[in-house]
Structure 1
Amino acid sequence: MARCYPIPSDAVFESNAELRVYEALAEKLGSDYVILHSVAWISRPGKDGPREGETDILIAHPTRGVLVLEVKGGRVSLDYSTLSWTSIDGNNKIHKIKNPFDQARRGKFALLEKLKENPIWKKMNIGRFNLGYAVFAPSVGDGDRLSGPDAPVEIIGDRRDLNSIDVWVERVFDFWSQNDRANQPIGMRGVDGLVALFARSVSTRPLLSARIADEDDFRLSLTTRQAAILDVLRRQRRVMIAGGAGTGKTLIAREKAVRLASEGMRTLFICYNRGLADHLRELCSGIEGLDVATFHQVCHRWITLVKSKYGRDLMSEARVEIPRGNEFDHHMPLAFANAVDILGPRYEAIIVDEAQDFGDEFWLPIEMLLTRPEEAMLYIFLDENQDIYGRSAEIPVQGEPMVLDRNCRNTDAIHAVAYNHYRGALVDPPEINGADVECLFASDIHKQTKLIGTLITKLIVEEHVAPHDVAILLCDVGDRTMREALLQKLPLPSSVLLGRIEDFGPGQLTVDSVARFKGLERPVIVLWAFDNCSVSADRETLYVGMSRAKSLLYLCGSREACDRILSIVT
C-alpha cells in the first residue's frame, strides 16, 4: 500500500470522484509510492508577484518521478468546436468546468516553479526529472473520446482503469519519461523532500522544553482545527487568527514562520513580550531567512541603523513631532516608520503574535516593511482576552478572524477556572482531566511565602519535578521586590535557583509577573499576589495567569481572595 498524506480515512474530499481515485491509488500502488491529496501552494513573490498553484493529487516515486493528477467527476464532455468543457452530475444537471488538461498542465509548471525556489529541494541538486500530468474521470467509461491535440489518450484515465490503476499510473509515467530520456531519478530524498514541503507533520513540544510525561502525550499532535488553519494559510496572504489561551496560536504562528522561511521567503516573526520573543528566537535558531524579535526590538534596530548610516536621530525628530507622546507607543513607532521609509522594505512575509497588545501606531511601519504590501504574506494572531496592556489596535486585515476553538494546553480542571474569566467565542475544554486546582491559604505575605517554599520543596524532592518546570507568577507587582526577597530567604533545595524569565535554564525556577509571562507556559504554575485583585477589573490578568499552567495550578492567597477568583463570573 502506498504512503498517503493524509491517510484516506482522514482526508476531506470535495467530490466522490476524488475519494474513489485516492482510495484506489492508496490500495493498488506499492509502498515505494507517495500520494498527497489536495496540495496547494503560493510561490515566492517575484517580478510578476506571487503565483498560486494546486493539484487534486500528487504522486511521487523515487525512480519514476512525479505526476500531477487532476480528477473530474460526473460525465465529462468536450466540444472542440467551442473548446468548452462540461460535467453532468447524478441529477443530470450540466455544469461548466475548466479544461482539466490545462489545469493539470498549469499545476505541473507551477509545481516545478515552487520546487526550484525551495531551499530544501535546491540543496538536493536534483536536475531534470520526470514530471508529468494526467486527468482521471472515474465516472466516465469511454475516456478516450476526451483525447485531442493537447490531451493524448495515454494521460487519460477512466472507470475502466480503477481496478488496475497501478498499471495505468506506470503507463502515464512511461509516456512522460520517453519524451526526455535525460531525466534522472529523484530518489527517496526527493520523495521525502516533497513530503516535507507539502505534507509536513507537526508536533508540539513544550514551549520551554518542560514535560510532564503522561499528560504531554496528549498534547503532541495538532488538533484537526489547527491543521486546517495551517492548510488555509497556504492559500491566503492576509489572515487574522483568534483564539483563547492554550488553543495553539503561538504554535501555529511559529510553524508558519518556519515554513515560509524554509520556502525561501524573507520572514519576520514579531510579538510584544520580550520573554516570548527570546524563547521563540531560541526555538527558531538556525532557520535561514527568519528574524524573530519584539516590535520594539525591531524599532530599535532600524532606528539605530539609520543613525549609523545617515547620522539622523529619528527618535529626537519623533519627540519634536509628538511632544506629548509616549516613548514606546508613539515615538518609537513613528521613528521606525521613518526609518523604513529611508531604508526601504525588507520582508516578503510577516507573522505577528500577541497582536492584541499592538497599538494603533504599530501597524503602519509593519506594513511598510513588506516588499509588496498587497501581495506579500501577513498573518496576525491574537487573543482579545489577553489585552492586559489595555490597547485597542486597528489591525490591517479585513473580515472576521479564523477561530481556534480547542484548548490544547491546560487540563480540563485548569481550563474550568481560567476560562471562568474569559469573554469571547466558546472554546472547547481539553481532553485531559488533570488534577484539581489547589489553594494555599494564608492571611499574610510571610505565611504565604512559607507555604510556597513547602510546596516547592515537595515538588522538587518528593515528586521529582524539575525546577525549570515551575513558575511563580505575580498578579500585582506593587510589592514585587519584597516578595522576591522573601522567596530568596527560603530554605529551598540546593538544586533550585530563583530567577526571572530571561534567566531560564536548568535548575532555574521562574519568579516573574503575569504580564511578562504572557505567551509562555510551564507544567506547574503558582499564582500569587492577587489578594487585592478585583475579579472584574483584573479579569484579564487572572485569565492569563491561570492559563499559563499546563498540568498543575496552585493559588496562594487568603481564603477570601482564593474563593473570590474561583467563583463563577457572570
Structure 2
Amino acid sequence: MRSIPAEPDFTEAQSAEKVVWGQLRRDLPDDAVVAHSVQVRDGRAECEIDLLVFWPGVGLAAIEVKGGLVSVDDGQWYQSGGIEGRRRIQSPVVQSQSSMHAFRTWMEKQLGSRVSSRFAYMACFPYTRVPRQWEMAGCARTLILDADDLVSPAVRIREAIEREGGGTNPLATSFMDRMLPKLGQLESIVDLSYSAREAEDSQDQLTERQAILLAATRSLPRVRYVGGAGSGKTWLAVEKAKRLAKEGKRVGLFCYNKGLSQHLRNQVQGWRQAAPIFTGEFHEYALRLGVRDGEGQEYFDEQLPQELLGLAGSLLQTEKLDAVVVDEAQDFAPL
C-alpha cells in the first residue's frame, strides 16, 4: 500500500486514525493508495475524509474514524468522554457520506469527467465492537468497520465498495493515476472551495444528453429519471429544481437521508436567482408543516402520510408547492 503523504504526521488527537492507517497499510494490496486527512469544502460546508482509499480493480472508500467507545441511542450518536462519560457527536456515517459527495463533486470538476468508479462511505470504530446483525436506517452493517473487522480490514472494505458503493465501474488504474496528482498538488490541506458564482455557472454547462433529457421532459407534469449510481441523477434533480424555480414556481427539492440532504443544500445555497422554497429531507419538511415527530416503519409508512393529507387541505394556496423534485426516490416507500 502507498500512502499520501508517505509518512502522515498524526497528532495526539488522531491516534485512532494512526491505528487504522497502520492496519490498512498491512492488509491492503501493494497497488492500493490511502490518503490521510483530505479536507474538502462543498460550497460553504467544510468536510474532512480521515482516510481515503483508492483500490485499483475495486473502487474508492471514504472512511470516517471515531476513537473511544461509540454508541447510538434513539438515533443520536455518542462517543466516550466528557463529564457524563459520553458526549453527543454528529453521525459519523452522515459525515462520511457528505465528505464523499464533496470530494466526488470537486474531482469531477478537476478532471472534466464523471467519477463513475464505485465509491463507498464508511465509518470505523477501532475500539468498539458492533454486532454483526446490527443495522439502522440509512446505514447497513457493511458500512461499519469495528475493532474485530480491523483484523482483516481489506475484506470488509472490498465488501462495502462492491455491495454498497455508488458507481458503475471498478476503479481503473489509469483513472486513479489521473486523480492522485490532484491530491499531490494540494499538499497538506486540500482547499476544494470555489465561489458560489462559479458553482452555479458550472451547472449551466449541460452535457448534450442531459440537455436533451431536460428539454424533452419540460412540458410533462410527472417525470422519473432512472439510471445507475454515478450516472448524474442528482445533477439532473438539482438542475430541474433550478429551472422550475426560475420559472417562478414554488419548488421543493427533497431526499430521504441526511448526507444527501446536506449535499443538496450546499449546491443551492449560493444561487443568485430563484431557489427552491425548501431543500432537504422530506421528514424535516413535514415537521415544519406541523406533522408530529415519530419513528419506526409504521410512522413513516402510515401515520406521517395521513397527517400530511389532513394538513394539505388547510394550507393556503401561497403555502403549497407548485413542483416537487425528489432525488434518490427509491429510498421512499412506493405510493
TM-score by length of 2: 0.52
Q: CA deviation at 1:4?
A: 0.5
Equivalent AA in structure 2 for residue 96 of structure 1: R
Residues in 2 aligned to 1:61 and 1:190: alpha-carbon distance in whole angstroms: 11
Cα–Cα, structure 1 residues 90 and 22, in superposed 2: closer, same or farther, change >3 Å? farther
Q: Tell me, which stretches of 5 or more residues in structure 2 are unaligned?
A: 200-269, 271-335
Cα–Cα, structure 1 residues 165 and 74, in superposed 2: closer, same or farther, change >3 Å? same
Per the alignment, residue 503 of structure 1 pairs with none
User: Does 2:60 match 1:66?
Assistant: yes
Cα–Cα, structure 1 residues 126 and 110, in superposed 2: closer, same or farther, change >3 Å? closer
- 1:234 corresponds, among 169, 191, 211, to 191
Per the alignment, residue 107 of structure 1 pairs with 99
Cα–Cα, structure 1 residues 186 and 66, in superposed 2: closer, same or farther, change >3 Å? same
Residues in 2 aligned to 1:127 and 1:140: alpha-carbon distance in whole angstroms: 33
Per the alignment, residue 414 of structure 1 pairs with none
Cα–Cα, structure 1 residues 142 and 195, in superposed 2: closer, same or farther, change >3 Å? same
Q: CA deviation at 1:90?
A: 10
- 1:152 corresponds, among 135, 140, 149, to 140
| Cα shift readout 1:370-392 (whole Å, capped 9, x = no counterpart) | xx9xxxxxxxxxxxxxxxxxxxx
Equivalent AA in structure 1 for residue 191 of structure 2: R
Describe how 1:165-564 pairs up with structure 2 within 5 A.
165-176=153-164, 183-200=168-185, 231=189, 234=191
Q: CA deviation at 1:168?
A: 1.5
Cα–Cα, structure 1 residues 115 and 9, in superposed 2: closer, same or farther, change >3 Å? closer
Q: CA deviation at 1:57?
A: 0.9
Cα–Cα, structure 1 residues 51 and 197, in superposed 2: closer, same or farther, change >3 Å? farther
Per the alignment, residue 84 of structure 1 pairs with 76
After superposing the two structures, state which structure 1 stretch, 186-195 or 134-143, moved more.
186-195
Tell whether the 8 Å contact from 1:127 to 1:184 is kept in structure 2 after alignment: no
Cα–Cα, structure 1 residues 147 and 134, in superposed 2: closer, same or farther, change >3 Å? same
| Cα shift readout 1:197-226 (whole Å, capped 9, x = no counterpart) | 22338xxxxxxxxxxxxxxxxxxxxxxxxx
Q: Which has the higher contact order (CA 8 A, sep 6+)?
A: 2
Residues in 1 aligned to 2:109 and 2:93: alpha-carbon distance in whole angstroms: 25
Q: CA deviation at 1:108?
A: 1.6
Q: Secondary structure at the match of 1:185?
A: coil
Cα–Cα, structure 1 residues 29 and 92, in superposed 2: closer, same or farther, change >3 Å? farther
Cα–Cα, structure 1 residues 27 and 13, in superposed 2: closer, same or farther, change >3 Å? farther
| Cα shift readout 1:281-340 (whole Å, capped 9, x = no counterpart) | xxxxxxxxxxxxxxxxxxxxxxxxxxxxxxxxxxxxxxxxxxxxxxxxxxxxxxxxxxxx
| Cα shift readout 1:346-396 (whole Å, capped 9, x = no counterpart) | xxxxxxxxxxxxxxxxxxxxxxxxxx9xxxxxxxxxxxxxxxxxxxxxxxx
Cα–Cα, structure 1 residues 75 and 50, in superposed 2: closer, same or farther, change >3 Å? closer
User: Does 2:123 match 1:135?
Assistant: yes
Cα–Cα, structure 1 residues 117 and 89, in superposed 2: closer, same or farther, change >3 Å? same
Q: CA deviation at 1:92?
A: 7.8
User: Does 2:148 match 1:163?
Assistant: no
Residues in 2 aligned to 1:66 and 1:21: alpha-carbon distance in whole angstroms: 16
Q: CA deviation at 1:196?
A: 1.6
Residues in 2 aligned to 1:72 and 1:146: alpha-carbon distance in whole angstroms: 18
Residues in 1 aligned to 2:164 and 2:88: alpha-carbon distance in whole angstroms: 29
Q: CA deviation at 1:135?
A: 0.9
Per the alignment, residue 508 of structure 1 pairs with none
Tell whether the 8 Å contact from 1:137 to 1:143 is kept in structure 2 after alignment: no
Tell whether the 8 Å contact from 1:78 to 1:146 is kept in structure 2 after alignment: no
Residues in 2 aligned to 1:186 and 1:158: alpha-carbon distance in whole angstroms: 25
* Number of aligned positions between the proteins: 198
Tell whether the 8 Å contact from 2:107 to 2:115 is kept in structure 1 after alignment: no
Per the alignment, residue 230 of structure 2 pairs with none
Identity of aligned residues (%): 22
Cα–Cα, structure 1 residues 92 and 200, in superposed 2: closer, same or farther, change >3 Å? farther
RMSD: 3.1
Tell whether the 8 Å contact from 1:85 to 1:99 is kept in structure 2 after alignment: yes
Q: CA deviation at 1:189?
A: 2.7
Bigger-Rg structure (1/2):
1
Per the alignment, residue 38 of structure 1 pairs with 37
Tell whether the 8 Å contact from 2:104 to 2:115 is kept in structure 1 after alignment: no
Equivalent AA in structure 2 for residue 77 of structure 1: S
Q: Secondary structure at the match of 2:104?
A: helix
Q: Secondary structure at the match of 2:50?
A: strand
Cα–Cα, structure 1 residues 77 and 50, in superposed 2: closer, same or farther, change >3 Å? closer
Tell whether the 8 Å contact from 1:74 to 1:87 is kept in structure 2 after alignment: yes
Q: Secondary structure at the match of 1:159?
A: coil
